[in-house]
Structure 1
Amino acid sequence: YQRFLVTGRTQADWDWYARGAVLFLGGDQGFTCWIARRLGYPLVVYAEWQVRYSRWMDRVGLRTAQVYPQYQQQPEKFRLVGDLNIDGVMSRGPSPLAAGTWVGLLPGSKGLKLGLGGPLLMAVAEQLQAKHPVQFVLPVAPTLSLAQLAHYVSPANPNVALMGGITARLEERTDGPVLVTTHGTQVRLWTEFPAYDALAGCRFCLTTVGVNTAELAALGVPMVVLIPLNKIEVMKAWDGLPGLVMNLPVLGNFIARRVNPWLIRRTGLLAWPNLLAGRAIVPELKQVLTVADVVQASLPFLTDDDLHRTTRTQLLATMGGQGAAQKLVGLVKEVLGYSRDDTGFR
């Protein structure tokens, strides 16, 4: 990548088309501007939180007007497109889950989250089922195999004792795979992707932070957002210099243990619906978590119908409508010389 930025040549020596466009969907806007200049392509940027280096951009699709309040001064360049994270997030029919009350478990798809979240959610599932007649479904990310998932909730995970002491084993059954916990609680594994139909049938979900909080909000599914600080050195997914330094070999964990408490104190709300609303619509548990903490925050969504209904209404209102992807494609067509309605060049 660095060699490409400097020389314009990739390792595989790609032969670039003379005409094209660079589409930015996330990451570092500065690098994307550099790539566009290197290729001589127009640049279309999807701006989620902020706009940087706008003079080098040809079109900018804004998630909301607040991302760039002065956008109306350059209506040709800046357009409101909406939220890409929820575009296409919808339930396409009745829930495929069996009758009953279902709770969705979303521990994440990467090792740093699964190492803590996996065993924590297994322990919470046991405690919730002991208090309320519920069933559990866990959507499996397409980048994660069942064997990998099973590893993180098995005794082989060194964090099990730290996160509640409950493990689970993988069982392949005729009606699909399940995780069975130490004391027999069953968690159905949902392998179809995307899992919107299954999630839409859940009473509420226990989830980590990420785009999944936007997807759940767009479906109107209440959630409890878990940010466990039980092993603070594993939190290394920071943007910019802090993330780079914490991922250094040997010294990374040492630095993370000392810098993370300061960084965490400076962070505010983290779940997408809370960020968009500017207030805590759904609870965020950002602390050293115990099973009892999570169960206590979860039970109101099972027992209080008014709370459940109000939260669902607020989530749907906060996330807004759809159509962002189509609008962004329109910006790409503009810079490439297509008319908005035709498929050929003008």
Structure 2
Amino acid sequence: MFPAGSSSLALDEGPPSAHANTKAHRGGDVVIMTNGPGEVCSWVQAAATAIKDASDTDEHAHSNGVFAALAPCPHASGREVSALGKQKAIDGVAAPRQFLWLLLLGRAFFVVRQAAANVVARLMRRKVPAARARRLRQRGVVLFLGGDQMLAILLAWRLRYRCVLYAERAVLWPNLASAYVLRSRAQLAHVPARWRHKCHVSGDLLLALARKRESTAAQSTKRSSPSETIVGVLPGSKRAKLRIGAPFFLSSAASLMSQMSTDGVKPPRFVLPLAPTTTADDLQACLDDTTDDLAKRFGWLIGRARVEMFEADSDDVRERCGSYEHVGHVVADHRDGELVVELWAPSSDSGGVPPFELYASMDLALTTVGTNTAELGALGVPMVVCLPSHAIEDFRGAAGGLLGLLMQLPLGVGAAVARRVNLALLSQSGHLAWPNMWADAAGVTPPVPELVGRVSPEEVAESAASLLVDATARDSVRDALKRLASAQEEDTGEGGTPTQEVVRCVFAQM
């Protein structure tokens, strides 16, 4: 399948040490392959910035270009290209719909795309773009940070680059990759002995990013009183998750407000930070009963919630917390009164960084599964994790191959296949929240409650209320999360931060 002389798949020689002197490497380009919003706003930004910084401080090395290639992903928000374009360390982005063209055109892709854009601009009598693209260098590395590992290997083969894959969970193709960077030393046990020389333990990238911001996370939102509690509402950023998560988690917040009021406890202050790839319009669309039939099927707060943004020309000073600012409210009519949830969004100078400071100010978070559970866990924020399966057929990217194709069939066939496959995967998945997976690996009791399946907002509210009214229980969860996070950090293995280890491995392959 692959030519023996391919520079990215030289299987007869082990890759250079990940700790080779980075000053000895020759200049080249790094193409980061990724897919979803969580990876774009965390791993990619950190890795791209570190690669650029290492190049700028290395007087013996040529400057390294950093490009991003977005692989097709059914769960993408559609705004990953825009988010990557705002990252100063990224020199060029190939959109998901252009991925096949990148494979076909190889290193000439960015030049051909620019030439085509110039021709179109002249034909339409528009201003020709001032930006000038260049051909990718002959020497380079494809760095996998999300998506399908095989696509990264194919891209590296086409570009004749080396291929470095960050394995968050499974090491799938050690015989074809140039090097693997592993999240945990325990992953080595699942790699055949003959390929272990290609594997380097870096530690958990997500955990490291959150812990790095922990020192600045002391900056938090202002509380009206010392007894005020803040509850975060995190419905997700991927389109399929947000469609269900927005009305479901807001309904859970409304139920929590009602339950605490009934018990004579002051309701908490609710905050909802928008993901860098999500807008207020996306949120409103998920809450509008004219967009889908979820209201008829499940009720919740669909059709009874509205997003109210502050006036753009308002003279009011907006409250800021780290890289996020308070931009408006989500207001919902509920049987026991009006639910008001503060809406927070990235500031114009945020650079697409997750809201670590806002996370740190929360006493509790109501969240779906995903990268945010690792970020919350690293900061020691208690959480209730929920994955409602009421419309699980909306998730069409859980399986690849033939099943993945069958999920895309029309006339209800794809939905039926997706429902059966997703339910089967859920039944075999074990814990889904990252802190609980850390606990499983350590052989200790999982600290985070997980509610998976056709759960109701009232069940989520009950689980959250039990933690909110018991400060001792919250402190116990917080301590357990920090212990687990510290244990993960101790598994970095080879010195340096996880991001530094990834960069060293990339430069060693250059």
Same fold (TM over 0.5): yes
Structure 2 counterpart of 1:207: 367
| TM-superposed deviation, 1:7 | 6.9
CA distance 1:63–1:259, shift in 2 (3 Å): closer
Contact 1:72/1:78, CA 8 A, preserved across alignment: no
Alignment partner of 1:122 is 2:282: no
Which residue does 1:339 correspond to in 2?
Answer: none
Q: Is the 1:3–1:9 Cα contact (8 Å) retained in structure 2?
A: no
One-letter amino acid of the structure 2 residue matched with residue 94 of structure 1: Q
With over 3 angstroms needed to count, the CA separation of the structure-2 counterparts of 1:269 and 1:98, relative to structure 1, is same
CA distance in 2, matches of 1:10, 1:168: 49
Pick which of 97-106 and 6-15 moved more.
Answer: 6-15
Residue 481 of structure 2 corresponds to residue 315 of structure 1: yes
Task: Work out whether 1:225 is the aligned partner of 2:385.
Answer: yes
Residue identity in the other structure for 1:105: V
Q: Which residue in 2 is equivalent to 1:274?
A: 436
Per the alignment, in what secondary structure is the counterpart of residue 224 of structure 1? strand
Match of 1:153 in 2: 287
Give the 3-state SS of the residue equivalent to 1:270 in structure 2: coil
Q: Report the secondary structure of 1:236's partner residue.
A: coil
TM-score normalised according to structure 2 size:
0.61
Maintained 8 Å contact 1:120/1:164: no
Q: Which residue of structure 2 aligns with residue 101 of structure 1?
A: 229
Count of equivalent residues: 336
Structure 2 distance, partners of 1:111, 1:43, is 30
Question: Do residues 83 (structure 1) and 234 (structure 2) align?
Answer: no
| Residue aligning to 2:424 | 262
Which residue among 221, 228, 248 is the counterpart of 2:409?
Answer: 248
Question: Do the aligned residues in 2 keep the contact of 1:202 with 1:221 (CA within 8 Å)?
Answer: yes
Separation in 2, partners of 1:3, 1:148: 29
Distance verdict in 2 for CA 1:249–1:295, change over 3 Å: same
CA contact (8 A) 1:95 1:200 kept: yes
**1:334 pairs with 2:508:** yes
One-letter amino acid matched to 1:191: A
Of the structure 1 ranges 229-238 and 285-294, higher mean CA displacement relative to structure 2 is found in 229-238
Residues 222 and 282 in structure 1, CA contact (< 8 A), matched pair in contact too: yes
Name the residue aligned to 1:341.
none
Alpha carbons of structure 1 residues 124 and 7: separation in structure 2 relative to 1, 3 Å: closer
- Give, as a single letter, the amino acid of the residue that structure 2 aligns with 1:127: S
Give the Cα separation in 2 of the matches to 1:191 and 1:300.
Answer: 29
Q: Residues of 2 paired with 1:244 and 1:30: CA distance? A: 17
* Mapped pair 1:294 → 2:460: yes
Which amino acid in 1 is paired with 2:376? L
Residue 68 of structure 2 aligns with which residue? none
Find out whether 1:48 has 2:163 as its counterpart: no
CA contact (8 A) 2:306 2:332 kept: yes
Mark the CA change 1:172 to 1:60 in structure 2 (over 3 Å): closer, same or farther: same
| In 2, Cα distance between equivalents of 1:149 and 1:32 | 32
Note closer, same or farther for the CA distance 1:95–1:7 as it changes in structure 2 (3 Å cut).
closer
Deviates more, 1:114-123 or 1:6-15: 6-15
Which has the higher mean CA deviation after the structures are superposed, 148-157 or 192-201? 148-157
What is the letter of the counterpart of residue 87 of structure 1? A
Q: Deviations over 1:122-159 (max 9, x none)?
A: 22222212314201000111222212212212333531
2-side partners of 1:67 and 1:97: how far apart? 42
Q: Percent identity?
A: 34
**Shift of residue 114, structure 1, vs aligned partner:** 1.9
- Quick one: distance in 2 between partners of 1:291 and 1:162? 14
The one-letter code of the counterpart of 2:236 is G
Partner of 2:140: 20
Q: Structure 2 CA distance, aligned partners of 1:181 and 1:210?
A: 26
Structure 1, unmatched stretches of 5+, are 337-346
Distance 2:456 2:207 in 1: 31
Which one has a bigger Cα radius of gyration? 2
- So what's the TM-score if we normalise by structure 1? 0.88
Partner of 2:121: none
- Please report the RMSD computed on the Cα atoms of aligned residues, expressed in angstroms: 2.4
Q: 1:60, 1:77 within 8 Å by CA — same for their partners in 2?
A: yes
Deviations 1:198-239 (A, max 9, x none): 111111111111111111111111111111121232232303
**Alignment partners' CA distance in 1, 2:171 and 2:294:** 40
Instruction: In structure 1, give the amino acid aligned to 2:171.
Output: V
In structure 2, relative to structure 1, the CA distance for the partners of 1:2 and 1:86 (3 Å cut) is same
